[in-house]
A and B are shown apart, each in its own frame.
Chain A
Amino acid sequence: EVQLVESGGGLVQPGRSLRLSCAASGFSIGDSAMHWVRQAPGKGLEWVSRISWNSATIVYADSVKGRFTISRDNARNSLFLQMDGLRVEDTALYYCARRAGEGPFDIWGQGTMVTVSS
């Protein structure tokens, strides 16, 4: 079965860090760009970051630039998001998603919840 499974979310105080992981199974992420997308409770989807297949190109949304770091390990078929300096407004369900070639985001995980609160 083709799937992405996120993990690493939780409750954290403002200013602290979390590291999210996204494990792929049933396919290889090695030739695809991968993305993180988040959704605050009751809100719409917000694109967070992307990384090219070979990690050569990395882009962040302005809202997380300088605080979040995306990375990947193709040998482990995994994607990561290091989140430092967390803010209350980072509270959201974080999804990883695959973009195959020039296409849309065709595979999504179920998401991992990050709650930033004192």
Chain B
Amino acid sequence: EIVLTQSPGTLSLSPGERATLSCRASQSVDNRYLAWYQQKPGQPPRLLMYGASIRATGIPDRFSGSGSGTDFTLTISRLEPEDFAVYSCQQYGTSPRTFGQGTKLEIK
């Protein structure tokens, strides 16, 4: 099983700042099968990025993804108030399809 470890657990930033979220895998992940999801309280996960760096439909370009192998990053260039949420990475190329434990992005 591929274990995904996200850091930091909580990130406190202000609107307008840049956010950098990390997802580290216990073994190599094919770039084609790495996704990021955003989740707000009381809502299901929303697909943000897939294929490590491809934005899902309707996702603004302040969101970007990068990385390869075992290290992946989600970057939000300029935080908007609606971006404060929990972000989870997922690998969906190998069974079981594992998720990271999430990074909570909170307003400072």
Contact = CB atoms under 8 A, between A and B. Distances in A.
A46 interface: yes
B29 interface: no
Would you call the interface of chain A mostly helix, strand, loop, or mixed?
Answer: strand
Contact of B44 (A59, A99, A102, A111): A111
B45 A108 contact: yes
Given A47-B97, A50-B97, A61-B96, A105 B90 contact: yes
Interface residues of B, number: 22
B50 interface: yes
A71 to B, nearest CB: 18
Contacts of A110: 43-44
Contact of A105 (B43, B92, B101): B92
Interface string B81-108: 0000000101010011111111000000
Interface string B56-94: 100000000000000000000000000000001010100
Contact of B92 (A44, A45, A46, A99): A99
Q: Which of A45, A46, A59, A111 has the most CB of B within 10 A?
A: A45
Contacts of B95: 50, 59
B35 interface: yes
A80 to B, nearest CB: 19
Nearest to B101: A44
- Pick the most buried of B43, B56, B97, B98: most chain A CB atoms within 10 A of its CB: B97
Contact of B47 (A50, A106, A111): A106
Nearest to A50: B97
B32 interface: yes
A2 B35 CA distance: 21
A-B pairs, top 7 by smallest CB distance, nearest first, are A104-B35, A108-B44, A104-B50, A45-B99, A44-B101, A44-B102, A47-B97
Interface of B: 32-33, 35, 37, 43-47, 50, 56, 88, 90, 92, 95-102
13 contacts: A35-B97, A37-B45, A44-B99, A44-B100, A44-B101, A47-B96, A47-B98, A102-B32, A102-B33, A105-B47, A105-B90, A106-B56, A108-B44
